[in-house]
């Protein structure tokens, strides 16, 4: 088990010394992310920008998705997705709106029909227009906001108010940086990207709650220890667990990026970025917030179990 540890036990790294660097750094990244979203925008997929959905069925009994995908990509239709669904003979082809209006869109449909020929039966052709796409944007945004509010409301009642505000700031930090990631990389933003954002929010809150719970536990044991030293001790206590969790999830996502194909590539890449920023924010964003909000742990005489305990060395900032 010692060979699997990514961090030694009983580390004494002074994380809180870097709070005056991490906060401005993260603030700049957040502002840049907002500017990228406003002036560069995001590469909305078919779900949000509109397009055409075609459902086909292989007459041979098994749809060759790789063949269909390669064939469709050579038609130069822009963003395109080919997925299997239902029985092994069924496949769906989706491509975005074509420049030139309805005539160009119908011409693209005929290109796909001609390319597949008589090997496939076309069961359904549906055009998703901008009106439906606008509803999807609103519903997706509402789902993200409501999920965050529900979880953060729980944190507000579960912990002290300083803890809840720290979790809110860390979560918003992760969301902004994820939006900036989509803007700067121009990865396709679709409904699976909404799922990635919700998963990142959940992972971020999980990592944050682990750190906050250990801080609260240490507050009960070391009631006279300065807050910055107590937070350093708490973060160091959960550091092996945090690094092991992040590394395990990162390696799993890396395998999805390499072997998962184009269908879930944007989801996997966004999740890899989210794991990194969520781990960073739980340590360098949420925890220092408790200091700035005036969290104090002088609540009485020192516990007998803490007599003789040596606090972490911490410099003044």
| pLDDT score recorded for residue 317 | 34
Q: Quote the CA–CA distance of 287 and 235 in Å, as a whole number.
A: 8
Cβ proximity of 55 and 90 under 8 Å: yes
Which residues lie below 8 Å from residue 146, measured CB to CB, with a gap of 6+? Answer: none
Domain ranges for the chain, please list them: 14-42+133-301, 51-128
Taking the mean position of all CA atoms in its chain, how far away is CA 206?
A: 13
| 90-125 confidence digits (pLDDT tens) | 888 887 777 777 777 788 888 888 887 778 888 888
Of the ranges 44-58, 168-182, 236-250, which one carries the lowest mean pLDDT score?
A: 44-58
The residue-averaged pLDDT of 141-146 equals: 79
| 275-291 confidence digits (pLDDT tens) | 999 999 999 998 888 88
| Average of per-residue pLDDT values in the chain | 80
Question: Which of the four CATH numbers 2.60.40.3140, 3.40.190.10, 3.30.70.3400, 3.40.630.30 does domain 51-128 have?
Answer: 3.30.70.3400
C-beta neighbour count of 201 within 10 angstroms: 22
Please tell me the number of Cα atoms within 13 Å of 21 on its side-chain side: 7
Residue 312, SS3 per DSSP: coil
Q: Is 232 exposed, middle or buried (0-12, 13-18, 19+ CB in 10 A)?
A: buried
Q: Quote the CA–CA distance of 290 and 172 in Å, as a whole number.
A: 16
* CATH, domain range 14-42+133-301: 1.20.1640.10
The residue-averaged pLDDT of 123-131 equals: 72
């Amino acid at each position: 088990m010692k060979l699997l540890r990514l961090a030694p036990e009983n580390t004494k790294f002074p994380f809180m010394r870097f709070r005056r660097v991490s906060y401005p750094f993260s603030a700049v990244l957040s502002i840049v992310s907002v500017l990228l979203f406003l002036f560069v925008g995001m590469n909305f997929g078919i779900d949000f920008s509109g397009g055409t959905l075609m459902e086909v069925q292989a007459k041979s009994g098994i749809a060759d998705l790789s063949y269909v995908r390669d064939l469709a990509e050579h038609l130069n239709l822009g963003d395109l997705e080919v997925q299997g669904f239902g029985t092994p003979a069924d496949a769906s082809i989706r491509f975005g709106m074509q420049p030139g209006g309805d005539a160009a869109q119908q011409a693209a449909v005929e290109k796909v029909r001609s390319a597949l020929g008589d090997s496939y039966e076309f069961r359904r052709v549906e055009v998703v227009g901008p009106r439906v796409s606008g509803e999807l944007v609103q519903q997706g945004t509402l789902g993200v906001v409501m999920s965050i509010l529900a979880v953060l409301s729980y944190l507000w009642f579960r912990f002290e108010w300083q803890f809840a505000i720290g979790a809110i700031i860390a979560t918003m930090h992760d969301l902004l940086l994820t939006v900036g990631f989509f803007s700067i990389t121009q990865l396709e933003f679709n409904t699976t990207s909404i799922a990635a954002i919700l998963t990142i929010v959940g992972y971020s809150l999980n990592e944050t709650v682990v750190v906050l719970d250990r801080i609260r536990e240490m507050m009960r044991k070391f009631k006279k220890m300065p807050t910055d030293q107590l937070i350093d001790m708490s973060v160091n206590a959960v550091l092996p667990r945090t690094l092991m969790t992040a590394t395990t999830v990162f390696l799993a996502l890396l395998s999805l990026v390499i072997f998962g194909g184009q269908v879930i590539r944007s989801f996997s890449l966004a999740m890899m970025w989210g794991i990194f920023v969520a781990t960073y924010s739980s340590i360098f964003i949420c925890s220092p917030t408790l200091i700035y909000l005036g969290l104090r742990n002088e609540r009485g005489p020192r516990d007998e179990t803490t007599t003789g305990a040596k606090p972490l060395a911490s410099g003044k900032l």
